[in-house]
Amino acid sequence: MRGRPALALGFAALLAAATLIGCSSHGKSHPAAATSTTVGLRRALTVKTYEYSYDVGQLTPLRVAAGRVTVSAQNAGSEGHEAQFVQLRPGVTVGAVVAGLQRDPSGASLSATVTSVGGTGPIAPGARGGAVLNVVPGSYLMFCSLRAADGTPHFAKGMLLPFTVQ
């Protein structure tokens, strides 16, 4: 219990950074052509997973078009990862969802704050996965609920990405 305040404070800082830039940085460099600073609404998401972040190929906040969205994910990390997607209910913040996930990593208690819209399921290192989502306008969160070797859920280590559907 002693480490919880430090974990919560560190996680809050990670969450704030992810919210401000719209994607996590994983410390690896990418070719300039792979990252854009001006991207319109996306109808398909190409996601690379790392320890413990997502790369969607842009630096600006992620905006997705309402309707059918195809997700293609590649696990470029050395641990298993996933991309789970939830829509936040009106008035619910990303911080509230994260706090709920920290209290109950299974996500069972979040039914009052989010609606699951699907996900890739676990993806082994070096493998690919995918999903087809049907999304409506609103605020969403992509996150990984798998656990690291130390027992910590990946989202608590920064593996989450808020985005908007328009």
Task: Write down all domains in the chain, each with its CATH number in brackets.
Answer: 4-27+47-165 (2.60.40.420)
Name the H helices within the chain: 4-21, 94-103
Across the beta sheet with 84-88, the strand order is: 63-64, 160-165, 138-143, 84-88, 114-119
pTM: 0.75
Per-residue pLDDT reduced to its tens digit, 70-119: 999 999 999 999 999 999 999 999 889 888 877 887 777 788 899 999 99
ω into residue 52 within 30 of 0, thus cis?
A: yes
Distance, CA of 49 to chain centre: 10
> Do the Cβ atoms of 79 and 57 come closer than 8 Å?
no
CA angle 94, 63, 112 (to 5 degrees): 30
Per-residue pLDDT reduced to its tens digit, 9-40: 333 333 333 333 333 344 443 333 344 444 67
Please give the Cα distance from 142 to 138 (Å, whole number). 13
Cα separations in angstroms, 60 against 80, 83, 154: 26, 19, 23
